[in-house]
Chains A and B, each alone.
Chain A
Amino acid sequence: MSTPARRRLMRDFKRLQEDPPTGVSGAPTDNNIMIWNAVIFGPHDTPFEDGTFKLTIEFTEEYPNKPPTVRFVSHMFHPNVYADGGICLDILQNRWSPTYDVSAILTSIQSLLSDPNPNSPANSMAAQLYKENRREYEKRVKACVEQSFID
């Protein structure tokens, strides 16, 4: 069965393979194109550097008119990531555009790691440390980076 959403996801996957953005990768799970596994490598010159952070992306049949649900599987310490791995990012909520694809989603999340937005915190502790105690923030992030090797 090939619905418009599934066909679009096949195109997303093709584009991701032909023109892979640096520092991210993703692929549909073996038996369901509506659920993807992805990895974001921590961007250079950030405390996330060297981390390999795993995510799941769940699409509905309304994709690309509705954004997918993206969640970190790896433990994260980031002002805009909830304790359950959910991500607070405008383009995945109210600023979603049906022109985005998996590449665009993953690269946006990658840039969120470099540039957190502490004004809309999903993790208030991380947001507070990011603003007030950068050294402690980086220490907590580094712990996540090390954890990401084991996961």
Chain B
Amino acid sequence: MADENDNDRIDDNQKPEKMFTLKKWNAVAMWSWDVECDTCAICRVQVMDACLRCQAESKKDSYGKQDCVVVWGECNHSFHYCCMSLWVKQNNRCPLCQQEWSIQRMGK
């Protein structure tokens, strides 16, 4: 059919150019922790920084960072280990959700 031939001819002569070629793609995702997760709700310092107690006790150059670890409970709430260990002596519950406190993991 004539129409088809015409179309073929056009296709042969004017191959549609690709608009662009994707050579490299860097995915950038922006994310942030929930404020509640990020900040130790007991001393109100970010869990990645040393807690208030360690900041008060250590010299300015060390900030006590190496000892002040983060602890996550089974409830997924996180606190400084220093802050939480003082609290559980008095009441073995998560101060945020009141669940029985048991440690899921510790670290930084």
Contacts and interface: CB of A to CB of B under 8 A. Distances in A.
Tier of interface size on chain A: 10 to 19
B95 A97 contact: yes
Nearest to A3: B56
A7 B55 contact: yes
Contacts of A32: none
Interface string B72-87: 0000000000010011
Interface string A1-43: 0111001100110010000000000000000000000000000
B95 A99 contact: yes
B106 interface: no
Contact of A8 (B44, B86, B87): B44
Contact of B56 (A2, A12, A65): A2
Contacts of A98: 41-42, 83, 87, 95
Contact of A64 (B42, B55, B96, B98): B42
A2 B54 CA distance: 12
Interface string A61-81: 000111000000000000000
Contacts of A3: 56
Given A4-B43, A64-B42, A65-B87, A99 B96 contact: yes
A4 B87 contact: no
Contacts of A11: 43-44, 52
Interface in B33-55: 41-44, 51-53, 55
B90 A8 contact: no
Contacts of A101: 44
Contacts of B87: 65, 98
Nearest to A11: B44
A101 B51 CA distance: 16
Contact of A7 (B42, B56, B83, B86): B56
Contacts of B96: 97, 99
B68 to A, nearest CB: 12
A65 B91 CA distance: 10
14 contacts: A3-B56, A4-B51, A7-B43, A7-B55, A8-B43, A8-B44, A11-B52, A65-B87, A97-B95, A97-B98, A98-B41, A98-B83, A99-B42, A99-B96
Interface of A: 2-4, 7-8, 11-12, 15, 64-66, 97-99, 101
Interface of B: 41-44, 51-53, 55-56, 83, 86-87, 90, 95-96, 98
